[in-house]
Structure 1
């Protein structure tokens, strides 16, 4: 029983990372209808910025995380302005090709600047707490707490602020939002900024557990797309539920089935849920 609860805790940690990445992907798709395959690159660069700022400037972990969030939010806005916005009237395949190009470019750039080796990120949260036989590292606990806080703050932002209301209006009815004077460019930039910030947070809190390396964004973005599709394209509640389902399933599957096949579980879940609910668990928009 202790093993079960241990893996359940690990699954909550993994699911929390998937939730943060998946929500960013969901917001961009649900509001702008852009399947941003380059979202994994934002996750990748976020992890490297946090690591290199800590090593290069010797700043505290939290300071490095904040700088990474700001940098990746800005990078995401630039990505929207100079790549996706000019393609808004182009055939749909064009933004997908552009996103794949960004993935290849950023991965090559990271390898050129920082090399291809694996890096370990150290944090102040390296102690372990044992409760009822379940070993919980403080870093994994931090991942879960941060995910909960970020999701709550994001919901408050979307529900209680003018910009948040504009984002929801765009998600519900783009033409109606234009008619009442909502600035589509501002909404698009803010959406990408939030998406980038979430990717940076996820990378910064997960990297001390999973290491930092040039290909770290590949599997994460694949899992994030699975989360988004399972939850319902464009649904934030769906991304939250989907992330938890996937994280817990992978953790338990690695223990009770085989660690060699844990990455297959995501796609097996995708097939099962899509067969039962072709539009995902939730299919009614962002909220």
Structure 2
């Protein structure tokens, strides 16, 4: 039973991180209707900014997380203004190619600044705590609590505020939203900022139990795409549930089958679920 509960804890940890990344990807897809392959690079950039603030400047962990969220939010908005916005009337393929270009540019920049070596981000929460008889790393509990708190806050923001309502309107019908006076440029910038901030926070939460390196966002963003396809393209509940499904599947699969195959499990699940429900689990449900 202790081992079973440990896998649930690991699954919630992975699922929380995956869901945060997938939520940012889903929000951008809802506005642009183009997969943002650069989102993994924003995740990586958030980890490096936090790492630099903590190791070079001695900044507190939470302040480093806030700083990373702000920096990556600005970086994400710049990507929209300088790259995606000029291509708004181009074929979707152009946006996809441009996103890959941003990804390669940011990875090369991180490698030029910090090198290709792996780095370990320090954390003030390295203790082991007892939770109902289960020895749990405090950092993992922090990831679970912070990730789910952010999901609830994002849901309340999108469903209970006027600004959130404008985002949902743009995601559902951009032309109709523009006709009723919604500023598409302002909403798009806000969505990119939220998306970048979520990626940076997810990276800062997860990096202390993982590693920081230039290509760290590649596998995460690949799984995030699996999650949003699994949950239904553009569905926010789908991004959350899909992230938890993938996280749990990887945790239990790695323990009961083999850790060598845990990264393949996400793609096997995608094939199985889409064979049964091709539109995804929550298709058409934006919030």
Assess same fold via TM > 0.5: yes
CA deviation after TM superposition for structure 1 residue 46, in Å: 0.2
Name the structure 1 match of 2:62. 62
CA deviation after TM superposition for structure 1 residue 161, in Å: 2.0
Q: What is the total number of aligned residue pairs between the two structures?
A: 287
Partner Cα distance (1:285, 1:30) in 2: 11
Name the structure 2 match of 1:284. 284
* TM-score, normalised via structure 2 length: 0.98
SS in 2 for 1:130: strand
Partner Cα distance (1:131, 1:184) in 2: 47
CA deviation after TM superposition for structure 1 residue 132, in Å: 4.3
* TM-score, normalised via structure 1 length: 0.98
Contact 2:237–2:285 (8 Å) recurs in 1: no
Name the structure 2 match of 1:92. 92
Query: Deviating runs (4+, > 3 A) in structure 1?
Result: none
SS in 2 for 1:57: coil
CA deviation after TM superposition for structure 1 residue 215, in Å: 1.1
Aligned-residue CA RMSD (Å):
0.9
Partner Cα distance (1:155, 1:3) in 2: 33
Name the structure 2 match of 1:238. 238
Contact 1:31–1:234 (8 Å) recurs in 2: no
Partner Cα distance (2:231, 2:176) in 1: 26
Name the structure 2 match of 1:226. 226
**For structure 1, which runs of at least 5 residues remain unmatched after alignment?**
none
Name the structure 2 match of 1:137. 137
CA deviations over 1:83-116 (Å, ceiling 9, x no partner): 1111111011000000111111111111111001
Contact 1:15–1:243 (8 Å) recurs in 2: yes
CA deviation after TM superposition for structure 1 residue 10, in Å: 0.5
In the alignment, is residue 185 of structure 1 matched against residue 206 of structure 2? Answer: no
**For structure 2, which runs of at least 5 residues remain unmatched after alignment?**
none
SS in 1 for 2:37: coil
Partner Cα distance (2:5, 2:90) in 1: 50
In the alignment, is residue 252 of structure 1 matched against residue 252 of structure 2? Answer: yes
SS in 1 for 2:136: strand
Q: Which moved more, 1:149-158 or 1:248-257?
A: 149-158
CA deviation after TM superposition for structure 1 residue 34, in Å: 2.1
CA deviation after TM superposition for structure 1 residue 133, in Å: 4.3
CA deviation after TM superposition for structure 1 residue 155, in Å: 1.2
Name the structure 1 match of 2:195. 195
CA deviation after TM superposition for structure 1 residue 165, in Å: 1.1
Name the structure 2 match of 1:118. 118
Contact 1:172–1:285 (8 Å) recurs in 2: no
Name the structure 2 match of 1:103. 103
